[in-house]
Amino acid sequence: MHPVRLAALLALLSMFGPFTIDAFFPAYHAVAQELRASPWAMQQTISIYLLAYAVMALFHGPLSDAYGRRRVVLWGVVLYLVASVGCALVTSIEQLLAMRALQGVATGTGLIVGRAIVRDLYDGPQAQRVMSLITLFFGVAPAVAPVIGGVVYALADWRAVFWFLALYGAGLWWLCLRVLPETHPAERRMRFAPRPLFDVYRRIGLDGRFVLLVLATGFNFGANFLYIASAPAFIEKILGLGTLGYPWFFVPMIAGMMGGAALSNRLAGSVLPRRQVAIGYAVMGVGTLLSLGYNLAVEQPTVPWAVLPVLVCAFGISMVFPVLSVKMLDRHPQFRGSASSMQAFIWGLCTSSIAAFLSPALQHGHQALALGAAALIAAGYGCWWWFVRITPAPAAERDPHRVVIEPP
């Protein structure tokens, strides 16, 4: 399968996550009113989804290592379809939380198994290029999802948003059935058993360098996710843009993500990975300073000035992510599925904690959100700095003046 087509397909699978979170934001207050849910309970529709995603992430990779990538993806998409139909039919907030948890159980198949598929097929700069393409395609989802959700909600009601997600799942299942290749042959598979699985996770979890790379990517993304989890308050109340104002935030953020991913793709093989990460963090630093300067100086933030720093930070985050992801998976090349699962588990814990605790605490003020995002980016950089301090550079990266150019 051509790398661009594969990246597009894996990006479509990865879009389950942002579609599940973002498409439902314009209907957020309508759901709360009809189901008589408190603001805290509504916030848990995000955090419980992410917590279920994190727990199940520990099994997606090992299941794909044992039974093949294609089979796990197909069953995961079916489960997502069922969960989305369940969300559309609920009659109470408790039922909605249960169905959101089931969505979280299913969603990880695309992102987690997708990364393992990339590393099954590609190495080195080519793997970084494909990861960057996935990020580039995937970046469309958070911008498009709230727009689609807002239109569907305006034309029908909030339940129709979940029917749309079910339809998306059905179409993607058909596409995967037809074209998704199996990249993990039977002779390379490992038996799925609890004790060996625990031993693998213990080995990966005790790898401090692996954990630092995962936390670096998790904290970096967490800076954007803090705004995503706070979107109903930030967009509708702080910026005063209403239920159709979501593109004002998501379009610049995704433009930054796609721009950073495109540049990472261009730099793969021509700029040393550690140099690229340094550039990415410098970009994030500029965006953070712009955000703090603006938000601490004004009483009432307005667009586009309030969202432009988010664009800059997103650009840097996407520059860094493909490099750190490849380095992370290469820490345990014989257990790439399990390593991808461990990353998703730690990411899920980070994002669910942000949604459950940090977002409710900070979402009522633009200055607090800016300070929270800055702290998360600083934590991400701290993890990368620590990794560099304790990890000798590969031979190809020891000469900072060397430029490696591969043929196209």
User: Which DSSP category does 365 fall into?
Assistant: -
User: Other CB atoms closer than 10 Å to residue 90's CB: what's the count?
Assistant: 19
Helix then strand then coil, in percent of the chain rounded to 5, is 80, 0, 20
Coil/strand/helix, residue 122: coil
Q: What is the mean pLDDT of residues 46-68?
A: 84
pLDDT confidence of residue 375: 97
User: Other CB atoms closer than 10 Å to residue 243's CB: what's the count?
Assistant: 19
- Domain ranges in the chain are 3-182+193-392
pLDDT confidence of residue 402: 47
pLDDT confidence of residue 398: 56
pLDDT confidence of residue 407: 33
Q: Hey, what are 275's tokens? A: 């140099």
139 vs 9, higher pLDDT:
9
Phi, psi of 242 (to 5 degrees): 75, -175
pLDDT confidence of residue 397: 61
pLDDT beyond 80 at 187: no
Q: Hey, what are 321's tokens? A: 């992510």
| pLDDT, tens digit, 9 for 90 and up, residues 287-339 | 999 999 999 999 999 999 999 999 999 999 989 988 898 888 888 877 776 78
In three-state form (DSSP H/G/I as H, E/B as E, the rest C), the secondary structure along 77-106 is: HHHHHHHHHHHHHCCCHHHHHHHHHHHHHH
pLDDT confidence of residue 139: 65
Contacts with 275 (C-beta within 8 Å, 6 or more apart), sequence order = 397, 400
Q: What is the mean pLDDT of the chain?
A: 85
pLDDT confidence of residue 228: 86
Query: Are residues 116 and 340 in contact, defined by beta-carbon separation less than 8 angstroms?
Result: yes
Please tell me the pTM assigned to this model: 0.76
391 vs 116, higher pLDDT:
391
Q: Hey, what are 150's tokens? A: 């807002």
In three-state form (DSSP H/G/I as H, E/B as E, the rest C), the secondary structure along 163-230 is: HHHHHHHHHHHHHHHHHCCCCCCHHHCCCCCHHHHHHHHHHHHCCHHHHHHHHHHHHHHHHHHHHHHC
Query: Are residues 210 and 339 in contact, defined by beta-carbon separation less than 8 angstroms?
Result: yes
**CA–CA distance, 240 with 147 (Å, rounded to integer):** 17
**CA–CA distance, 268 with 129 (Å, rounded to integer):** 6
User: Which DSSP category does 8 fall into?
Assistant: H
Q: What is the mean pLDDT of residues 363-376?
A: 94
pLDDT confidence of residue 67: 85
| pLDDT, tens digit, 9 for 90 and up, residues 142-182 | 778 888 888 898 888 899 999 999 999 999 999 989 888 88
| pLDDT, tens digit, 9 for 90 and up, residues 227-251 | 988 888 898 889 998 777 888 888 8
Q: Hey, what are 366's tokens? A: 């633009």
pLDDT confidence of residue 213: 94
**CA–CA distance, 23 with 85 (Å, rounded to integer):** 15
Q: Hey, what are 378's tokens? A: 């600083």
pLDDT beyond 70 at 40: yes
User: Other CB atoms closer than 10 Å to residue 211's CB: what's the count?
Assistant: 19
The CATH number of domain 3-182+193-392, selected from 1.20.1250.20, 3.90.226.10, 3.10.20.70, 1.10.150.110: 1.20.1250.20
Length of the chain: 408
pLDDT beyond 60 at 131: yes
pLDDT confidence of residue 325: 85
- For residue 406, what pLDDT band results from cuts at 50, 70 and 90? very low
pLDDT confidence of residue 26: 83
pLDDT beyond 50 at 341: yes
**CA–CA distance, 217 with 222 (Å, rounded to integer):** 8
- Burial of 185 from C-beta contacts in 10 A (0-12 / 13-18 / 19+): exposed
